[in-house]
């Protein structure tokens, strides 16, 4: 028997006979002389034909294969979410004066159902700033999605939202989720999962809107638009908006709320640049810059945990070996395709490991209370200006540990590093004007 709730505001293939409540449309729709996937919007090409002459979509294949023989079934969103008193908010924390002003601005735009950007520095408490707007939406019986392109962000965010909104049923959706889908007022999901929704949500909160792959994916941007009701709105959250978003703000096409200061009132840590000439040639000999080795040994002696960022996955094993040869042990490597990624990040949170050697996968959305950050090869093109600012923002996020070291080792003083330092300096200038302290 079909579980109708699984189809509320969603579009899913069905291998069994549909119930009368389900409406089906071709998964691949002929528009003129071409076929378009109705799940992801991809236009099929001549190479997308199977041996049996059927067509298939390769763009959203990771969600299950759709062919020209399939239909997508849906039940229009029935708006069965309860109107929860106080929106189910059980959080007892307090917002700072700056956060309260930003929260009121966000709330006003959500109430007006207008799209909005919350541009807040790393560690400003973006999540908590959204709580009043989220509580209001849930009190109206709205269906809400909180989405991010990064699974790490979703996995860290979900328990925080569950604790802050303890009375709100919540479902968490990502690629390898162990729990079955539930129809709930609040959905926390990776942006890819929105491809399965259609006109479902009154409010979509897009966390880390500038993060890969969302920033460069028309498919995922389309997924957000299609998952939102025509009458709905979305709220973008980021510390480093891309040029496209900034242009929309400049042209008054998108309203914006700025938060230039962290929630605890301290300024952002500035990047300390260290020139490490020909560091990659040293690495080929399983050696690291002497200054870096001295710094990391000092951290271990002091019990200071740290994150060491490297440009590429291929660098991880070599750097790990060089660290061991230098007597620097107690850490693990982690990257996007690491099957034990979640366990390793949790081990760092639980202080079971002294450090992580990682790629840009941990540049954002993951918080450790007291860490230093070291970037090796910060002049590599993989480290964009936004990525460097986000990486620096891993430091000093806790009120108990509001400061810390951010060190960037480069072969040369690249333009992206200069721009990142300049962006942090400008944000700190705005922060000082609001009473920020070092």
Map tokens 């941990």 to a residue. Answer: 362
Q: Are residues 215 and 294 in the same domain?
A: no
- The model's pLDDT over 155-170, given as tens digits with 9 standing for 90+, comes to 999 999 999 999 999 9
Q: Are residues 232 and 286 in the same domain?
A: no
Question: What's the pTM?
Answer: 0.89
**CA distances, 329 to each of 195, 319, 413 (Å):** 43, 12, 30
How far, in Å, CA of 169 to CA of 186, rounded? 7
Q: Are residues 246 and 295 in the same domain?
A: no
Residue 242: what pLDDT?
87
Domain containing 43: what range? 4-74
How far, in Å, CA of 148 to CA of 398, rounded? 22
- Nearest-5° angle of CA 262, CA 266, CA 271? 90
Q: Are residues 299 and 170 in the same domain?
A: no
Residue 1: what pLDDT?
41
Q: Are residues 13 and 150 in the same domain?
A: no
How far, in Å, CA of 45 to CA of 73, rounded? 24
Backbone torsion region of residue 170, taken as left when φ is above 0, otherwise alpha when ψ lies between -120 and 50, otherwise beta: beta
Q: Are residues 95 and 144 in the same domain?
A: yes
Q: Which helix (H) or strand (E) holds 153?
A: helix 151-164
Q: Are residues 346 and 229 in the same domain?
A: no
Name the domain count of the chain.
Answer: 3
Beta strand 12-13 with 305-309: parallel, antiparallel or unpaired?
unpaired
How far, in Å, CA of 38 to CA of 70, rounded? 11
- Nearest-5° angle of CA 350, CA 356, CA 361? 105
Tell me the average confidence (pLDDT) per consecutive run of 10 residues in the chain, 438 residues long: 86 88 95 95 95 95 95 96 95 95 98 97 96 99 97 93 97 92 97 98 97 93 98 97 91 94 95 96 96 98 98 98 98 94 94 97 87 98 95 95 97 93 94 91
Task: Name every residue whose Cβ is closer than 8 Å to that of residue 244 and which is 6 or more positions away in sequence.
Answer: none
Q: Is 438 inside any structural domain?
A: no
Q: Are residues 429 and 281 in the same domain?
A: yes
């Amino acid at each position: 028997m079909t579980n109708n709730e699984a189809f509320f505001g969603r579009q899913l293939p069905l291998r069994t006979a549909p119930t009368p409540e389900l409406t089906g449309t071709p998964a691949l729709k002929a528009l003129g002389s071409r076929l378009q996937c109705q799940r992801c919007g991809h236009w099929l090409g001549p190479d997308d034909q199977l041996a049996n002459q059927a067509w298939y979509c390769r763009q959203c294949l990771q969600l299950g294969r759709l062919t020209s023989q399939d239909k997508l079934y849906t039940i229009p969103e029935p708006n069965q979410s309860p109107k929860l008193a106080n929106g189910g908010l059980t959080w007892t924390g307090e917002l700072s004066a700056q956060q309260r002003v930003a929260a009121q601005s966000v709330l006003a735009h959500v109430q007006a159902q207008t799209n909005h950007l919350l541009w807040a520095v790393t560690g400003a408490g973006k999540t908590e700033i959204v709580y009043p707007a989220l509580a209001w939406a849930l009190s109206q019986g709205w269906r809400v999605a909180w989405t991010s392109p990064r699974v790490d962000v979703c996995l860290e965010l979900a328990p925080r939202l569950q604790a802050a909104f303890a009375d709100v049923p919540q479902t968490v959706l990502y690629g390898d989720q162990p729990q079955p889908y539930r129809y709930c007022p609040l959905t926390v999901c990776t942006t890819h999962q929105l491809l399965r929704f259609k006109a479902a949500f009154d409010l979509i909160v897009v966390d880390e809107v500038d993060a890969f792959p969302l920033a460069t994916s028309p498919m995922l941007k389309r997924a957000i638009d299609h998952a939102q009701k025509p009458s709905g709105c979305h709220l973008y959250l980021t510390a480093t908006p891309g040029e496209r978003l900034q242009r929309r703000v400049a042209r008054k096409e998108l309203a914006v709320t700025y938060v230039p200061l962290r929630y605890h009132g301290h300024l952002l840590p500035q990047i300390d640049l260290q020139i490490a000439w020909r560091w990659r040639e040293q690495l080929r000999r399983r050696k690291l810059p002497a200054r870096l080795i001295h710094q990391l040994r000092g951290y271990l002696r002091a019990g200071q945990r740290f994150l060491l960022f490297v440009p590429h996955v291929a660098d991880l094993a070599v750097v790990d070996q060089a660290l061991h040869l230098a007597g620097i042990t107690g850490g693990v490597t982690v990257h996007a395709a690491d099957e034990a990624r979640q366990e390793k990040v949790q081990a760092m949170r639980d202080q079971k490991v002294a450090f992580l050697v990682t790629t840009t996968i941990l540049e954002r959305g993951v918080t450790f209370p007291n860490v230093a950050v070291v970037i090796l090869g910060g002049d590599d093109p993989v480290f964009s200006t936004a990525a460097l600012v986000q990486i620096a923002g891993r430091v000093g996020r806790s009120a108990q540990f509001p400061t810390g070291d951010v060190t960037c080792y480069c072969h040369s003083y690249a333009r992206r590093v200069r721009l990142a330092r300049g962006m942090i300096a400008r944000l700190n200038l705005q922060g000082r004007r609001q009473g920020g302290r070092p």
